[in-house]
Amino acid sequence: RDPNMNPKRLQRYLVAIEYVGTQFAGAQKQPAARTVVGVLEEAFQKFIGQPVSIYCSSRTDAGVHALSNVCHVDVERITERKPGEVLPPHDPLIVKRAVNHFLQQKNEGGDIMVIDVRCVPNDFHARYNALERTYFYRLVSGKDAVSSFDKDRVWQVPEELDLSSMKKACEILVGCHDFSSFRSAGCQAKSPVRTLEELSVSAISSSPFPEINNPSRGTSERIEDCGECFGIRKRNHNFLITARARSFLYHQVRLVVGVVKSVGSGELTVSDVERILKARSITAASPMAPASGLYLAHVKYDFFP
């Protein structure tokens, strides 16, 4: 039995979820809008038969995705047969399976799922106990239309991007700085100082599938107009930007990505990045990268590896 499981009393669960953010108005609950927390609370209510309140580690914006966002919820197991009697808590695996069942019933698109559940102490908070958050940003460079499989899940730009220049831009922004230039006007953080433990960019494959027209073949075998090339999509250049910190300012990652991309396209220089950082002005870093390419990848806690 999990040592954090509380027999015959309110049980707090830590719940990890994945979702495609395209059809959500954000993670935080809003009236008359489809949100991550709203959909999740509805599924929990169907499972346990009473309303719950869910608190997320990260309040992602509309259109932002999550490979793993984490939230906590308090659940009291009751039975209709004996009103007032409180039963021992559900096993985390039962919670995961049951909530996913109701999520799939409600959401025909299958754009949200519980991926892990743990019992935690009742004073544990998904947001305030988080030690670190990691975000990924997918950037596609090329004029060919983005793949149907990547629609609303990347930021496509027509310009060629220079990887070396983008790496230099990341080197300037990594570390502890006043990021006033990299937050939106609605930011409510008391201090603009944040420490970026990691900010990196790398070239990645555009597809998990191997190329049909294998590039290892000789040039004579890879003529563009040959019959075997028909129906094979030309691949754009794909980049992945990784940002890791204990916490971020409002829109910080998307504003950083916008500047890094602009350096890669030649619209800004590496020196411009230093100037923008030192300006400490909300309007200095623009434009902001769209939400579609942003993914919350991982939330780290001290008692989990």
Instruction: Output b/e per residue, 153-184; b: 16+ Cβ within 10 A.
Output: bbbbbeeebeeebbbbbbebbbeebebbbbbe
58: CB partners within 8 A, 6+ apart: 27, 66, 69, 70, 127, 130, 133, 296, 299
8 Å CB contact between 172 and 201: no
| CA dist., res. 14 & res. 115, Å (int) | 11
| CA dist., res. 39 & res. 56, Å (int) | 13
Residue 135, annotated as binding a ligand: yes
| CA dist., res. 275 & res. 278, Å (int) | 5
Q: Of 2, 61, 144, 225, which is the active-site residue?
A: 61
Known active-site residue 61: yes
- Among residues 285, 265, 261, 109, the alpha carbon closest in space to that of 192 is found at 285
Q: Which two tokens stand for residue 87?
A: 């039963």
| CA dist., res. 121 & res. 72, Å (int) | 11
| CA dist., res. 212 & res. 208, Å (int) | 12
8 Å CB contact between 262 and 268: yes
Which residues does the annotation place in the binding site for substrate? 135
Just list the catalytic residues.
61
